[in-house]
Structure 1
């Protein structure tokens, strides 16, 4: 493969980088101050006003919905072309929404674009792509091992012209956003069907009777406002049957189709996060002195910085290769590499951020730097979209099968 950016990707990359450095990074202080003050007040979370201003500017600049490969709704970039843009967005926690490329809205939009009816797209996809609303994804459950999605206990039972939802979900990202207008709920529809044909995805407007947000969950002490991760119960929630996406029993296949590009996006944003952590670490290591010497010259810190540089560059090439496979050979060929990067990149980001925290001393543990929140994000992504162990098990299974096939071929010669 050719790792060079296409002219189209290079143009967008330069524009996104410029917008990030000139508009988004300078606005972070105001964004943090708003969220900090909001924590002291009762009531629902609010969105810092600077977010809407930045979104309007990004849309006016044509830096909008960059993740969608469908040219009818965005620039039509391939996964490999979008990947470096996602890396730039990873430098700041507010950048993804500013460019309308925020998870889980990206995955939900792709689900609606590829599997939704015209009515579903008109009602939910159009305002989502316009950045007027946000959404959440409700799949993980507290009562079962959600690393095995086929064990979910929540139900989506079709009864005549209705679908009835019951169950408890948690870690539903985006649930706390004041503009969250719908949830994508996944539940068991037919327990007697084939293992991967038992589940359905259902569109649930927020405020539907029977839907109750029980609490918002902190990640290592950080609530990730104004998005958040919620625990929500569904009690005899009744919706029209046409709220089911793609028809009953198609939920698992739809879920799998949204995971491939989503994992690339997560990994590339984490590489951007690691790059920023390394930048902060280098700045601290050269500006701070202890025992009469810069921190860079103490305790093996130069080696730590060098290893971080190597690890980030390795991760980037690994993810770009997976993105290229996804674009050129399809999900089946990319299955193993996608699991490889999903296991490797969050661990790398955790290590780099941890090194940066250590160089900052106690300051790295506070909210005076973005490092504590960055570590919470990186650590959470060792679990989100499948824990490390699930991905490693898949990589091992594919490798053992390939080695066995190779051995059989050699024995036949």
Structure 2
């Protein structure tokens, strides 16, 4: 009886939580109310060794842990400059970790433009964020960013493919996008046009290598030409769509509209993402994690940020509210964790999604029309929850009737 009672209570609690307040904010100069508590929990987890723990689960676990933490801090400072000093310290710490032997270990030393495109692109993106919140005042960081971007530009301009390798013989187009973004940020901060030609060259070449199934930037590309590409997938689209508005707003708008049409779906009424475009099936892997009826949990989490960036706030809020119900958040001692911090990289991804905003672009990349989520989207969840609750209710009623009957017999 206790088990059934607890089950009924849990299902009821979950359904009530679906009406909670979204943890997101609408304006790019506002700070999500619980973001600082989430960052405090992430920093505590990192200090306790969570990055090394995540490295045991996937190849870039250590790297991504510090990368997401640093990027979230710089985007917080972009929203509220009073956090600039703390964001600077956190970003520098994270850059030191990325530059450490442990941070570089998974990546090929000799692969241009320096440990492969994944390693150098994301490191440059974080440094670009640091330079941006400092408004270029740190000449040493600005010089380092220029050196990194120069090396990347040279590698791109001398390559047969715009999608450079991250590992020997393996290229993922999404790994190059943060590098292009870093170049655009450098030019924005300095007022130079140092990388205009490189960025234009990359956009032309990338546009000639779109996935023929969707006309989106592809998930994989064969080397050395980059011509044979793999079908677009939600996991990598989340990375590229987040950065494209600052690179080329018109292209970003086009890509987002196609993506929304081919990947956005629902699960029991709640907005979510397919890992593969409609009409194509596939299995999960180390990038996407396990799929639920073709839906990607990791991509859906990151979609909170993408939807905010493109003005689809009702989509972002619905995903965020569902996440607050499913994720079992817990706040104590000024730290907010989900499911008790069982998966630290998951908490980092949620925090990174909550703070998402363009760094440079305004609203030029917004689609022609916003996607409005129905006010009744929760009712499918309620219906299924009712079905789940029925056995518990029947059991409790029967137990109560037997108890009452037994009492009457004794009397």
> TM-score, normalised to structure 2's length?
0.26
- Which TM-score applies when normalising by structure 1? 0.26
Where relative contact order (Cα < 8 A, 6+ residues apart) is larger, the structure is: 2
Q: Which has the higher strand share?
A: 1
Which has more radius of gyration? 2
